Structure 1
């Protein structure tokens, strides 16, 4: 599928400031070749602006939202102020991921003495049907190595790409935690608590326990997704509870 000539209205784009005038700013759209756009001073920041250069200067990279497009004239009107901090961070991360994907493909092409454009096209033909970006596909390959076969790459390219992905891309992780308050009235209470904590750590390598003081502990689980993390946390909580709760002990587990 051929790439469109223009971004869509409402789309976020990475831009480089080229000219700054008293009431407007001109930029190039980094991901759209030689396309240029304009930001009116009213779209730089809310309220009155005394000096537009307090916000942008030539050469600065900024994330903008596409407001209007005149395809006949080639004009693109943009907004800087309508991009939230969260959207800005997300776009910057997207650009960095695209750069990482390109670097990986270029390296693999060099190692296999192949044309990087040919490899990129083969990967994109599959990846962009199933994923938002090629890097998202690479992240899933890091979790499930069999997915690399879907791109139908030459064997040497496939093997090299898999090796690079597993080396350079760590699977995305999430973390959940709980605060545990433990009391043991048994004569050997310290040993009972110590063994309970040790048994809890044996549940999974994804578990860590930190002493907070006053009989309180921070229980943390790091895993590939929330569903898996919740299962591990529940199992860990069950182990702790069965070891402590009873006539000689008290335990309270609170999610944090």
Structure 2
């Protein structure tokens, strides 16, 4: 269950909905993340092209992800679109909801152990965290690598101890992924074997490192680790080895790095 918000969504937000009513030219759906909010999807916003039978696209009780087109707060009207949500956006929203539910389950479990009200615990924690984190799951994820995220909040000891224990059990550390491009060529008679040995020796340095052939003397190098500092050390060790061996064997060598942070697994 997703904790319901009492306000309205914003225009262009993606929202999880449950279909409640189907008419020939429109569909009504409850907004699952918002308290007592309902939206309407006109038939033109169900799917591109002509729709012969609206029931081919939606059914009562079906969970759908929609885009908010417009809001009239005075009348409480919310216009939604189903067709303007891409498959990628659907997957991303579904993942966010899954993460949110996981964080709320953690609070619920801790509340059960302490025999206290889950909603009060959650509201107090959200209030103390403020606007620093988009969601509870983001805060819990950060706690894995920096315990001061929660320890500085002044939470009651029993709550903090139990919460910290459950977070460590249920949430994996965020991963850092560093991608790079290597260009490595040798004009020597046995150049193919020279290049292959250099790359293999580099890849053997750490199990978190992988090297793949792109074509035309270009290779991708990838390091996945739980923090930037160590990921960069692994990458530097590998690139230093390759650069040194390339010079020793008179190979052409260059390297370009690209970084990005991956979200923790839910």
Q: TM-score, normalised by structure 1?
A: 0.79
Q: Flag the 1:218–1:131 CA change in 2: closer, same or farther, 3 A.
A: closer
d(CA) in 1 for partners of 2:212, 2:64: 41
In the alignment, the residues of structure 2 paired with residue 85 and residue 226 of structure 1 have an alpha-carbon distance, to the nearest angstrom, of: 31
- Relative to structure 1, the CA distance from residue 55 to residue 179 in structure 2 (aligned partners, 3 Å threshold; closer, same or farther) is farther
> 1:140 Cα deviation (Å)?
0.5
Q: Deviation digits for residues 52-84 of structure 1, max 9, x if unmatched?
A: 222211121111122222333322211112222
User: Match of 1:140?
Assistant: 142
User: Is 1:207 the equivalent of 2:205?
Assistant: no
Map 1:180-191 onto structure 2 (within 5 A). Answer: none
Which residue in the other structure is 2:260 paired with? none
The residue that corresponds to 1:57 in the other structure is 59
Q: Confirm or deny: 8 A CA contact 2:203 2:210 kept in the other structure.
A: no
1:134 shift after superposition: 0.9
Q: Is 1:111–2:120 an aligned residue pair?
A: no
Aligned partners of 1:197 and 1:240 also within 8 Å: no
The alpha-carbon deviation at position 226 of structure 1 amounts to 6.7
Residue segments in structure 1 that go unaligned for 5+ positions in a row: none
> What's the secondary structure of 2:21's corresponding residue?
strand
Q: 1:240 to 1:5 in 2, by over 3 A?
A: closer
- Kindly tell me: are residues 255 and 131 of structure 1, through their superposed partners in 2, closer, same or farther at Cα, counting changes over 3 Å? same
Q: Which residue of the partner structure matches residue 176 of structure 1?
A: 179
Report 1:73-222 matches (<5 A): 73-173=75-175, 174-176=177-179, 178=181, 201-202=204-205, 206-208=208-210, 219-222=221-224
Query: Is 1:31 the equivalent of 2:33?
Result: yes
Query: Contact 2:198 / 2:242 at 8 angstroms: preserved in 1?
Result: no
Partner Cα separation in structure 2 for residue 70 and residue 196 of structure 1: 60
1:161-190 CA-partner distances (Å, limit 9, x unpaired): 11221221112222525567587x8xxxx9
When normalised by structure 2's length, the TM-score is 0.77
Q: Structure 1 residues 18 and 4, CA, compared in 2 at 3 Å: closer, same or farther?
A: closer
Greater relative contact order (Cα 8 A, min sep 6): structure 1 or 2? 2
Would you say the 8 A contact 2:143–2:150 is kept in 1? Answer: yes
Distance 1:220 1:24, change over 3 A: same
**How many aligned positions are there?**
250
Give CA deviations for 1:144-166 in whole Å, capped at 9, x if unaligned. 12222133221122122112212
1:193-243: per-residue Cα shift (whole Å, max 9, x none)? Answer: 8799557644x563346899xx99874311346786455323311123224
Whole-Å separation in 1 of the counterparts to 2:10 and 2:210: 46
Structure-2 residue corresponding to 1:20: 22
Report the secondary structure of 1:14's partner residue.
strand
CA distance in 2, matches of 1:196, 1:79: 50
Cα RMSD after superposing both structures:
3.6
Structure 1 window deviating more from structure 2 (132-141 vs 72-81): it is 72-81
